[in-house]
Amino acid sequence: MTAQPLGFGLAAGAPEETITAAALAAERAGLLSFWLTYPSPPLSGDGLLRLSAAARATSCIDLGIGVIPLHEHAATAIINDLAEYQIPVERLRLGIGSGPIAGSLDRVRTATRELRREVDCELTIAALGPRMCTLAGEIADSVLLNWLDPNHARQSAETVRDAARRVGRRAPLIYAYVRVAYGLGSDARLEREARLYSSLPFYAAHFERMGLKANEVAIHAATQADLRARLDTWRGVVDEVIIRALPGQDTIADTLAILDVCIEAFEVVRE
């Protein structure tokens, strides 16, 4: 078996010391990227501020923000924040999402044009449904899939690639957030996160399209062997699997325990 390209992500509300330790460990392990959320209430944390701390702790790993909601943050505000927080754009995967209000496709299309003029970084569009996957295939550098199983990830990836072929451009890279709950207390955390996302109308519609519940597309494992087996179902599905860690507590030890098992499962070669 070949190694699966891998990234690692955390909630921006995690302590800064956990974020910087995880980012450095991911870089030393040879992972391709480190991601933080850009939360909206009731979730907490400042994604770009914490990502700047991860940038200072590392030197070469790509840095992803997943994702900035455009209904709350205009392109000009994003550009200003990147400058204020001194995010190294040469390593940045700038994740943007439409937000849950009307006009989503036009909003993403317009913001993408504005950001390309001002920021020389990888632009990553978050896509749930087929229309956004199609638009992402037409204009994005990369696409971030979220809250889905391997089967539906393959379908979404094909929609993206078909759209790119139709407009005669290279297909964007396909990334997938794969939520992994592992360790003491992680089951309760996954249930809280699943309830939260299921309560959001656009995610509720996403789960209904798939015919799956939120906690059915996440990975919750009690043992290392079970976690490795569940992760193996994602091998080769997308260009990069991003482990969105859900430890029981946001401690360094609990977080790195998830990272270590995922590195072993996907045969990442440590430096």
For 74-129, write each residue's pLDDT tens digit: 999 999 999 999 999 999 999 999 988 889 999 999 999 999 999 999 999 999 99
Q: Which domains does the chain carry? A: 6-265 (3.20.20.30)
Q: At a CB cut-off of 8 Å and minimum separation 6, what does 20 contact?
A: 53, 54, 56, 57
pLDDT for res 47: 85
Alpha carbon distance 6, 244 (integer Å): 11
Tens-digit pLDDT profile for residues 153-193? 999 999 999 999 999 999 999 999 999 999 999 999 999 99
Cα 100 to Cα 30, 50, 120, 244: the distances in Å are 35, 25, 27, 22
Mean pLDDT of 13-42: 91
Query: Please, what is the end-to-end C-alpha distance for the chain in angstroms?
Result: 20
pLDDT in tens, 186-240: 999 999 999 999 999 999 999 999 999 999 999 999 998 999 999 999 999 999 9
> Which pLDDT belongs to residue 218?
97
**pLDDT score for 199:** 94
Name the pTM for this structure: 0.95
What pLDDT, on a 0 to 100 scale, did the predictor assign at position 270?
47
The pLDDT of residue 271 is 45
Give the residue carrying structure tokens 């209000």.
101
Look over the chain and give the mean of its residue pLDDT values, rounded to a whole number: 93
Q: Would you call the peptide bond into 143 cis, given omega within 30 degrees of 0 as the criterion?
A: no
